Structure 1
Amino acid sequence: MLEIKTKLFSELTTQELYELLQLRSEVFVVEQDCIYQDIDGKDKIAIHVLGFKEGDLVAYTRIFKPGDYFDLASIGRVLVAKKHRQNSYGYQIMEASINAIKVYCNVNTIKISAQVYLKTFYNYLGFKEVGEEYLEDDIPHIAMIKN
């Protein structure tokens, strides 16, 4: 099981901020070979959900209140470090994020912009596809909603 910490930007330690930015860069920029501006200014208004295993950050998401990113509450930057993906940490970090939205936002409806190859993963968590596929940073995505 992961040790989950949920924090506002102002509550992150310098070490936690460094680790989450390093892990996001490792997964989204290097591993997915996608050149884009990860540090987008939205971290300051996001709620950060960090998953630790034996003190190491291995899973992460950031969540937004309704209106801060989409019109609905949302979860983004979902990741698990490559060497830990066989441990079901993706489900754990997403379940913690869904619960955090209920606590911090007091809503149940969540919108995500999912990479298409992860549709089944998100379906299992209760998300349903809406609309057509689209390219985001040259990667096929689809909007998904959980009520």
Structure 2
Amino acid sequence: MSGIEWRFMAFDELTAAQLYAVLRLRSEVFVVEQACLFQDMDGADAQALHVLGSTQGALVAYARCFAAGVKFPEASIGRIVTAPSVRGSGAGHALVEQAIACLSRQWGAQAIRIGAQARLESFYGQHGFENTGRPYLEDGIAHLEMLRV
């Protein structure tokens, strides 16, 4: 998707307004839209590199990236989310590509593990992630671990 401005920031580089936009988008989608009560602010944001995608100043895509050993033995991407207003436009695919590129630039090309919602297996499969066969339930939603080597 064209028209998205991408930024890659450490936690302490985020402004209060950017952090508010991130937490609002995550809450809008993960808590309200998906009707899932969970502790989004899990203490890991300070260890992440944050991928922010904005159009006309509004945050529409977000993910956080972790070095190997933080969330999984491999590098990882999490909290992958797009605003409802950009769904179907390719923004989600662009976000995953940006997150993979961010990890590679920061820590070098390596395997990446994600905890994906099971319903999105084919979406992540388009980016080289493969189901490792370890399904699990997280906050009442079926997930599976996927690995991209």
State TM-score, norm by structure 1.
0.98
Match of 1:140 in 2: 142
For residue 92 of structure 2, the aligned residue among 90, 93, 108 is 90
Unaligned runs of 5+ in 1: none
> What is the 5 A alignment of 1:81-120?
81-120=83-122
For residue 68 of structure 2, the aligned residue among 66, 69, 72 is 66
**What is the deviation of 1:125?**
0.6
Q: Matched residues in 2 for 1:105 and 1:81: separation?
A: 28
Matched letter for residue 108 of structure 2:
N
For residue 38 of structure 2, the aligned residue among 20, 24, 36 is 36
Q: Is the 8 A contact 1:73 1:107 kept in 2?
A: no
Match of 2:127 in 1: 125
CA RMSD of aligned residues (A): 0.7
Give SS of 2:122's match: helix
For residue 52 of structure 2, the aligned residue among 50, 53, 57 is 50
**What is the deviation of 1:108?**
2.2
State TM-score, norm by structure 2.
0.96
Note if 1:79 corresponds to 2:81.
yes
> 4+ residue stretches of structure 1 with deviation over 6 A?
none
Q: Matched residues in 1 for 2:97 and 2:57: separation?
A: 20
Matched letter for residue 37 of structure 1:
Q
Q: Matched residues in 1 for 2:77 and 2:91: separation?
A: 16
Q: Matched residues in 1 for 2:119 and 2:64: separation?
A: 20
Unaligned runs of 5+ in 2: none
